[in-house]
Structure 1
Amino acid sequence: MRGEPLQDDAPGLRGLLARGVLRPNPTLPGAYVPVPLRYLESQLYASALKGLTAMVEGFAQIPALVGELEAEQQAHGHSDEPARSVHLTSVDAVNTETVRTSLGARREILTAQPGFRPPKLLKALLNPHLEPARRGVAVRTIYRTSERSSPSTGQWVATVTEAGAQVRTLGESFPRMIIVDRAHAFFEAFDTEGAVIPQTAWYTQDPAVCQVLALHFYTGWERADPWLPQAQEEPPASTEAHHKTTKTQRTILRSIVAGRSHAQIGKDLGLSERTVTAQVSKLRASLGFTTVPQLTYWWATSPERLLP
């Protein structure tokens, strides 16, 4: 301010020059003059505005950048997002999540229901199947064969099939599950002893788990019998004495049709391979057949395949 020359290393000089507060005195080497305050103010505002503009533009570019990177990662089957799995610990939580997810389905809903569902619950869960089916979503449900005798389940099936859904029944045990678009899956929770924890379920968005469960569903779907209410077959009388097959023989026949060997069937049922072979031979003889293909053809057209 006094017009005295300053050394280049004078404290604060570089900062003042950088901010534009001072400028060299053109008539006195080594001396500096203050910049007019109004001009300085406008320059500081301009500099700050330029910095803010660059920051805002940077913020605006973040979504596009992340989206581009995400598309590239998905194209190579990679994602750093952790798989999300949640243990739903109440019936209300399970129903709320399954209804919400089913109503948002765009391609496919796969449902396996091995147990009886009361009429009140069937009514509550009707729309999450009807609405997607009417939109063209592939809705497929598997019930136990024994459910064919339930009037409330039969009415539910008639309603959803009329909307375009498909229902089949399976006379063997299978786990309860719901898979939506192979991106969401609900399945039973088990304790450390392998027993089902009632009124709870796991919900996952892990794509690998969803794909495996869908594959498991279709394994049962291929073995199941279509349930067409408008032309369904009446099962034989419920007394076992009137049947040509026993429950064990029916389970064996379903497994044979599924391509399993006698050894595999015996392991599944806790029987020896010899016992399974003996059961097949006994049934074949009682029906007057000489070969297993004859037996399996009879089974494919027999109403007894609808029995549990």
Structure 2
Amino acid sequence: MAKNPEPPMPGGLRKLSDDALSLYASMTRGNLTWEDGTPGLQELIDAKLVLPNLFSPEPLYLLPDPHTVYKAYVEQAAAAVAAAGRTLLDLPEFFGVLPHLAEDGSGVEYMGTKHQATSAITAAMAGVTSSIWTAHPKERTPEVMSRSEPDVVRNLQSGIRMRTIYPDIRHQAHMARWAARVTQLGAEVRILNPPFFRMVIIDDTFAMIGDYRQSDNLDPDTAFAVTHPGVVAFIRAVYRTQWNRAEPWMGGHVAPVSTGQEPITTARQRIILRGFSAGKKAAVIASELGVSTRTVTTILASLYVKLGITPGDGFRLGEWWSRSEERHME
């Protein structure tokens, strides 16, 4: 019996079922004639990965270039992000005319200089109680990272949960060192290819966002400080969407291993375990590794034996992995 499609991923896409993945693989081998109702076929059509050949008398299908489909999805997502940004800037004016908001102010204040924005962030961070989320679409210099690290470390050691998103800066040695240091202390760092929004969110009470009124040229020196609870909640939702699209990164940090002691996991097992921790299905991980789903299971089989865990008991394996220092290894 065909399985139901997976629930929507962030942004509205659905993960493909095993039936759809198997059917797509068959189509790539030249088998393009399929009857309506074939398990997985409608999923592929809905995802624009398969197109009906309207000029064929038989139920024949076409396979567009997946890179072209991917590019179209990226462009669509970028347009949605830009639209969300315009909505974000329109919210203060829209709600500001309401009586209860007009009395208290809009909760959005323009920061005309970098110093003004930095001062507002510093004041908000002085009262942080639970979390700091940041997203930086631009690369940051070694000097900036060196100045910020003591504050980051202090916040982490005091129990503040920290998340940050950067563009792909894995080739930069100073960023790798910084990410290794802060993730070792409990911070979460992810990599996301632009476009994404620059923002700082402190608890659920304060946010600083970039000045996107000139969408083609983000002004690096101006910003908006937001304290209105409804708008801050909206910004947090935008951040979560960006976070879900991003890839975890630990800066290449390798956990210390005792002299003469070999790691329990192999490099490939760690890739698989990170995939499961990120919520990926076995079929998705298998596709990324270029192997079958059965091979993913086989790769983990020896690890179950080493740990004395019943094969297939993913809960206990995940529990062990969440505490293991080897999760920091490449």
Into which bin does the TM-score normalised by the smaller protein fall? 0.3 to 0.5
Q: Which has the higher helix share?
A: 1
TM-score under structure 2 normalisation? 0.45
TM-score under structure 1 normalisation? 0.48
Computing the radius of gyration from Cα coordinates, the structure with the larger value is 1
